[in-house]
Structure 1
Amino acid sequence: MKILYFAWLRTTIGKSTEEITPPETVKTVSDLLDWMPSLGENYSSALEKRDLLRIAINQEYADPEHVIKPDDEVALFPPVTGG
């Protein structure tokens, strides 16, 4: 699974993209966000305010119950504002 990080998530986690293999118990976006803090303190810090995050699966917005697959591209980013 390819994960993309944007804005302060990229800064806090320390990378813009990575390939991960979550355990088989990770079935949904919510499961993924529950599991990712186990990857390290930087992930815990970045994901502690989950209510501020937007998620896209294969370039389409997704809700927390969206089912994910091993070959999906998951983008994590803060809300986007215009200006």
Structure 2
Amino acid sequence: MARVLLFGRLSDVAGWRERTLDAGAGSIAAIRALLAAEDADLGEALVAPGVQVAVDQAIVRGDLVLSAASEVAFLPPMSGG
């Protein structure tokens, strides 16, 4: 079962911060698609410019096949100052 975390604005849009998904969602793209099918607003937010994905606490680019024990975090755009 993959653990999915949402931070910042993404958790506000979804109405949740942490959730466990069936391991059948075997990639980042599959998780995005599953979440988008459940909540169109969240689906749009997850593909917005600047949103990053971390798998097991490491930022990743592109799609990635996940293990059943993966932790996937979606991070909103960050601003510094």
State the TM-score, normalizing by the size of structure 1: 0.79
1:65 to partner: Cα distance = 1.9
Tell me by how many angstroms 1:66 deviates: 1.6
Runs of 4+ in 1 over 2 A off after TM superposition: none
Q: For 1:64, what is the secondary structure of its paired residue?
A: coil
**Structure with more of its chain in strand, by fraction:** 2
Q: Distance in 1 between matches of 2:69 and 2:23?
A: 11
1:62, CA displacement in angstroms?
1.1
What is the percentage of aligned positions where both structures have the same residue? 19
Q: Report matched runs for 1:1-80 at 5 Å.
A: 1-23=2-24, 26-38=25-37, 40-41=38-39, 44-49=40-45, 50-52=47-49, 53-80=51-78
- When residues 3 and 76 of structure 1 are mapped into structure 2, their CA distance, relative to the original with a 3 A threshold, is same
Counterpart amino acid of residue 2 in structure 1:
R
**Structure 1 residues 28 and 64, CA gap change in structure 2 (3 angstroms):** farther
5+ residue gaps, structure 2, are none
Instruction: Give the match's secondary structure for 1:9.
Output: helix
- After superposition, give the CA deviation of every residue in 1:6-49 in whole Å (9 maximum; x if it has no partner): 111100110111111153xx3321222122222x23xx202214
> Take 2:57 and 2:31, find their aligned partners in 1: how far apart are those partners?
17
